[in-house]
């Protein structure tokens, strides 16, 4: 018997779960071919539910679901493995990625670049890779995947980027070697950084630092003034507890 809207063996990740009714769970998932969607996992909160140890964020799963409408019904979720559970600062970065995806992607909008980008970012978080570059690469990749990629190969006058010069960058405009006429929001980046970003190369500390100011600007534009909870909340908590070290700064959970 075939069910309407049945999708089988679809790779995906859990982004967020929330309790639903007595024993069920509403799960936001990011899937490879169907984008982000909401599934209801029936009985997933029962004490002995098998799904309990499977529907965890930051883990590759194989999902099957059926149904029509906004919320589909999860049929099965199979563990794919390969990643240890995140903890510490990488876990915080994982929440940051998930919040970005929840806020910036539309439901059921399959963005082909997003799934591998997220998978690689999680690999980076789980491995010993340098967090700054993992976070920057994900942020830039997300902006690109959403179609807001800044022009990085030539300046506003159509000339190629020169590594030694500095360029004024702002959302929706090409890098400009000349200062803008009026006070507009933007950041100055070196040509070398622009070239590194075009090559997706974040090995240099200067690239990471300058890229951070750019991604912060681009994401703030996309988030339309409503800040993310992950960085803000944790910072607020840290302030309230009068802590001085080891807590994330605003809008960047990757900094030490």
Partner 1 sequence: MKNPPSLDQLIAALKVLPGVGPKSAQRMAFHLLQRDQAGALKLARAIGQALENLQHCERCNTFSETALCNLCADASRRQDQLCVVEMPADLMTMEQAQCFEGLYFVLMGRVSPMDGIGPRDVHLDRLLNRALDGQVEEVILATNFTAEGELTANMITELLRSRGLRVSRIARGMPVGGEVEYVDLGTLAQSLYERRTLSE
Provide the strand spans (E) within the chain: 7-20, 24-31, 35-41, 61-66, 71-79, 166-169, 187-190
Nearest approach, Cβ of 16 to partner 1 (angstroms)?
Answer: 5
Instruction: Give the DSSP H or E segment for 217.
Output: helix 205-223
Q: Which residues ranging from 29 to 68 are in contact with partner 1 (CB under 8 A)? A: 50, 52-54, 56-59
Q: Which is nearer to partner 1, 176 or 235 (CB)?
A: 235
DSSP, collapsed to helix, strand or coil, labels residue 212 as: helix
List binders of partner 1 among 70-89 (CB under 8 A): 79, 81, 84-88
- Cα torsion angle, 67, 102, 144, 81, sign: negative
Q: How far is the CB of 253 from partner 1 (least distance, A)?
A: 10
**Closest Cα partner for 212 from 226, 225, 224, 196?**
196
> Which of 62, 195, 247, 255 touches partner 1 by CB under 8 A?
247
The answer to the question of residue 20 lying near partner 1 (CB under 8 A) is yes
CA 180 vs. chain centroid, Å, equals 31
Please give the C-alpha separations between residue 50 and each of 30, 54, 77, 146, 253, in angstroms, as whole numbers.
21, 7, 10, 35, 33
Minimum gap (Å) between residue 211 Cβ and partner 1: 23
By beta-carbon proximity to partner 1, the closer residue of 113 and 233 is 233
21 touches partner 1 (CB under 8 A): yes
Stretch that binds partner 1, among 19-27, 62-70, 143-151, 197-205 (CB under 8 A): 19-27
Mention every residue, 6+ apart, whose C-beta is less than 8 A from residue 74. 27, 39, 40, 41, 42, 44, 51, 63, 64, 65
x-or-dash pattern for partner 1, window 205-234, by CB under 8 A?
Answer: ------------------------xx--xx
69 binds partner 1 (CB under 8 A): no
Name the packing angle between helices 205-223 and 131-145 (round to 10°): 40
- Contact yes or no for 211/136 (Cβ under 8 A): yes
Q: Which residues bind partner 1 (CB under 8 A)?
A: 16, 18-22, 50, 52-54, 56-59, 79, 81, 84-88, 91-92, 94-95, 98-99, 102, 229-230, 233-234, 236-238, 240-241, 243, 246-247
């Amino acid at each position: 018997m075939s069910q309407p809207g049945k999708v089988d063996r679809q790779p995906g990740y859990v982004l967020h779960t929330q309790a639903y009714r007595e024993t069920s769970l509403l799960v936001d998932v990011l899937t490879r071919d169907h984008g982000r969607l909401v599934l209801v996992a029936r009985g997933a909160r029962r004490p002995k539910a098998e799904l309990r140890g499977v529907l965890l964020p930051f883990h590759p799963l194989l999902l099957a679901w059926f149904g029509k409408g906004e919320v589909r019904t999860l049929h099965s979720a199979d563990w794919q493995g390969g990643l240890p559970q995140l903890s510490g600062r990488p876990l915080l970065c994982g929440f940051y990625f998930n919040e970005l995806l929840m806020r910036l992607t539309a439901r059921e909008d399959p963005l082909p670049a997003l799934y591998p980008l997220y998978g690689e970012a999680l690999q980076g978080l789980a491995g010993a890779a340098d967090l700054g570059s993992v976070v920057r690469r994900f942020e830039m990749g997300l902006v690109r995947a959403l179609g807001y990629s800044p022009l990085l190969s030539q300046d506003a006058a159509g000339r190629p980027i020169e590594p030694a010069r500095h360029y004024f960058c702002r959302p929706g405009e090409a890098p400009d070697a000349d200062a803008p006429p009026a006070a507009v929001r933007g950041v100055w980046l070196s040509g070398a950084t622009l070239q590194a970003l075009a090559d997706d190369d974040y090995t240099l500390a200067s690239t990471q630092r300058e890229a951070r100011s750019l991604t912060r600007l681009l994401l703030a534009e996309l988030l339309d003034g409503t800040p993310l909870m992950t960085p803000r909340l944790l910072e607020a908590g840290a302030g309230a507890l009068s802590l001085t070290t080891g807590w994330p700064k605003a809008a960047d959970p990757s900094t030490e």
